[in-house]
Amino acid sequence: MEINKVGVIGCGSMGAGIAQISAQSGLDVIVREINEDLLSKGLASINKMLSKGVEKEKIAQKDMDEALARIKGTTAMEDFAECDLVIEAVVEDLDLKKKVFTELEKICPRHTILGTNTSCLSIIDIATVTSRPEKVLGLHFFYPVALMALLEIVRTISTSDETVEAAKAFGERVGKSVVIAQDTPGYIVNRLFIPYMLDAIRLYEAGVASREDIDMGVKLGLNYPMGPLTLADFTGVDIVYFVASAMYEQTKNPALIPPTLLQKMVAAGWLGRKTGKGFYEYK
């Protein structure tokens, strides 16, 4: 199956990025938000990202203009009726995602593949609200979407080989390296990343070392590009907390229980770079 028209539900940081790279790859894109204000902000963020690319001479102005021309913003779910692939990128709330997929089931033709950008939730739980579980899978992009090279495709026990192959072709068309994982808690990346991150936070919480020394130890000792506490701030402290909590609920593995410090930082609104304060402070 060839994918030519892509729908994206949500025009926040992830949805906008997915819409942008799809349009830059020559695909027609429909991106939806729940109201005009959020839609305008999302489309403006796409324009800003592309403009930066032009300023840095990474893309030509002509390519930017053509990409923007391929993107249509909407607040109506009905506009997904002609899409070959729809990617849901709303907040990590299982009930909300199920509601979205229930609506898509009524609107999209039978050939449409339905993907979710969830980073940790059970995809088969989402797929079961549709009558086409063989057409449902995870399409886990990484932030920032335009810069991160990976797409993690997650297949459920019901996802067909044809759906996986079409999704893989889409991922490669938008310039991503593709890995395929089974629908288990955390898939590949977060299954490895979250325990590592939580252990680093516990080291800091216990006073084993300073935040700077923990980060420098990992960077220089393991040759990682970024230390774990810096990365937590970049990813979002609240995101780390949510993913860890969701994985713990599915596995009951005590290693995935969020540290007390992490819980308190979320309660205090110390969410990292996006709020100006996390493990470090940002001006």
End-to-end Cα separation, the chain, in angstroms: 48
Query: What is the DSSP pairing of strand 177-182 with strand 5-9?
Result: unpaired
Beta bridge partners of 115: 87, 137
**Residues acting as catalytic residues:** 119, 140, 152, 190
What's at 19, amino acid-wise?
A
What SS3 string covers the chain?
Answer: CCCCEEEEECCCHHHHHHHHHHHHCCCEEEEECCCHHHHHHHHHHHHHHHHHHHHCCCCCHHHHHHHHHCEEEECCHHHHCCCCEEEECCCCCHHHHHHHHHHHHHHCCCCCEEEECCCCCCHHHHHCCCCCHHHEEEEEECCCCCCCCEEEEEECCCCCHHHHHHHHHHHHHCCCEEEEEECCCCCCHHHHHHHHHHHHHHHHHCCCCCHHHHHHHHHHHHCCCCCHHHHHHHHCHHHHHHHHHHHHHHHCCHHHCCCHHHHHHHHHCCCEHHHCECCCECC
**Which token pair is 162?**
């044809």
